[in-house]
Amino acid sequence: MRLTINDIAKEAKVSKSTVSRVLNNSGYVHKETREKVEKVIKEKIYYPSATARNLSKKESNIIGVIIPEANNTFFAEVLKGIGEVVDENDMTLIFSDTNNDSVKEARALDMINMQGVRGLIITPVNDHDDSDAERKLKKKLRDLKIPTVILDRGVKNSQWDGVFFENYQSAYCATEILIQEGHEKIGIITGDLNLKIGKDRFRGYLEAMKDHNREPLKRYIYEGNFSVEKAYQLTRQFIEKKDIPDAVLTCNNLTTLGFMKGLNEYQLVLGKDIAAVGIDSNEVLDILGYNFSCVARDSVEMGRVAIRMLLERYQHPNKQRLESVMPFSVYLKGSERKVRS
């Protein structure tokens, strides 16, 4: 079976406390003793049990991460950022994908609870919607009583740290870019308006239009849901109806893809037949040379910020609640213009 601290103690002819001391670099231990113990550990290839250690110390070195769509590149990158810092800190990452399903979310939280993790980073399935599901989530988080950072989507009256994105501002800015390019009919494929991030982005669009004395035209407002499929359908529709806006704001990476699918299908050329700016960057589009302009955040960094915030909270449980809002950057590549040739 697996070696224990006792095996090492016996072999090194010391007590297990001494072994524990060299393992943890704690307390005093004679140089020679330390070397002897270390030698035995190496020789016998001993790995201390994290389980036993966690039980004894009543603290774990595991960080829990719950996200709604592991296959969405945004979350994949966030995960990468988190993983990086977790690694640097010699901790371990437990991970669960809720698939945007509140029931799975609840189960994931129970699992996290039983594992007794040190902290949790979660992107809720819901977002400020005051739903039953959200209330239950909040209750579970409260019961959890561990450092928690909420990422990207939030809950109402949060008592937890959070890292979010300048949703409103980024949409406002993107819209302004289109306005300043001189486009007349500026449309938007919105995100899921049940989610606050969807609402905020929409609001950014509306306000920008208003501030520039543009009447947002209802027929250029397409209500999407952050999915490829819906954005594609909406794009098809306006192309079929031959009432094509001059420019479109697409509200996330998936929306952008659906939009592009529609354009390609009808052979409309981006930057020529229609202009667009998206929220979120899209690596594959860049690779393929689409020059799709966007306002985007650094998602890997967003993950890093979240985990650092979590570790900070662990150190200072009573510090005031923190909220970090990630700024957006503007990446203009040409698609915001329209060059009728």
For residue 6, the partner it binds in DNA, a copy of itself, none, with Cβ less than 5 to 8 A by kind, is DNA
Work out which of 10, 11, 16, 302 binds DNA, going by CB under 7 A: 16
- For position 273 contacting a copy of itself by CB under 8 A, the verdict is no
Binding mask 40-79 for DNA (x = CB under 7 A): --------xx--xx-xxxx---------------------
- For position 339 contacting a copy of itself by CB under 8 A, the verdict is no
3-state secondary structure the chain: CCCCHHHHHHHHCCCHHHHHHHHHCCCCCCHHHHHHHHHHHHHHCCCCCHHHHHHHHCCCCEEEEEECCCCCHHHHHHHHHHHHHHHHCCCEEEEEECCCCHHHHHHHHHHHHHHCCCEEEECCCCCCCCCHHHHHHHHHHHHHCCCEEEECCCCCCCCCEEEEECHHHHHHHHHHHHHHCCCCCEEEECCCCCCHHHHHHHHHHHHHHHHCCCCCCHHHEECCCCCHHHHHHHHHHHHHCCCCCCEEEECCHHHHHHHHHHHHHCCCCECCCEEEEEECCCHHHHHHCCCCEEEECCHHHHHHHHHHHHHHHHHCCCCCCCEEEECCEEECCCCCCCCCC
For residue 260, the partner it binds in a copy of itself, DNA, none, with Cβ less than 5 to 8 A by kind, is a copy of itself
Work out which of 11, 20, 85, 313 binds DNA, going by CB under 7 A: 20
- For position 260 contacting a copy of itself by CB under 8 A, the verdict is yes
Work out which of 24, 264, 327, 329 binds a copy of itself, going by CB under 8 A: 264
- For position 115 contacting DNA by CB under 7 A, the verdict is no
Choice between 15 and 180, CB closer to DNA: 15
Work out which of 215, 287, 320, 340 binds a copy of itself, going by CB under 8 A: 287
User: Nearest approach, Cβ of 6 to DNA (angstroms)?
Assistant: 6
User: Nearest approach, Cβ of 71 to a copy of itself (angstroms)?
Assistant: 6
Choice between 28 and 242, CB closer to DNA: 28
For residue 79, the partner it binds in DNA, a copy of itself, none, with Cβ less than 5 to 8 A by kind, is a copy of itself
* Count of positions on this chain that bind DNA (CB under 7 A): 33
User: Applying CB under 7 A, which residues contact DNA?
Assistant: 1-2, 4-6, 13-21, 23-24, 26-34, 48-49, 52-53, 55-58
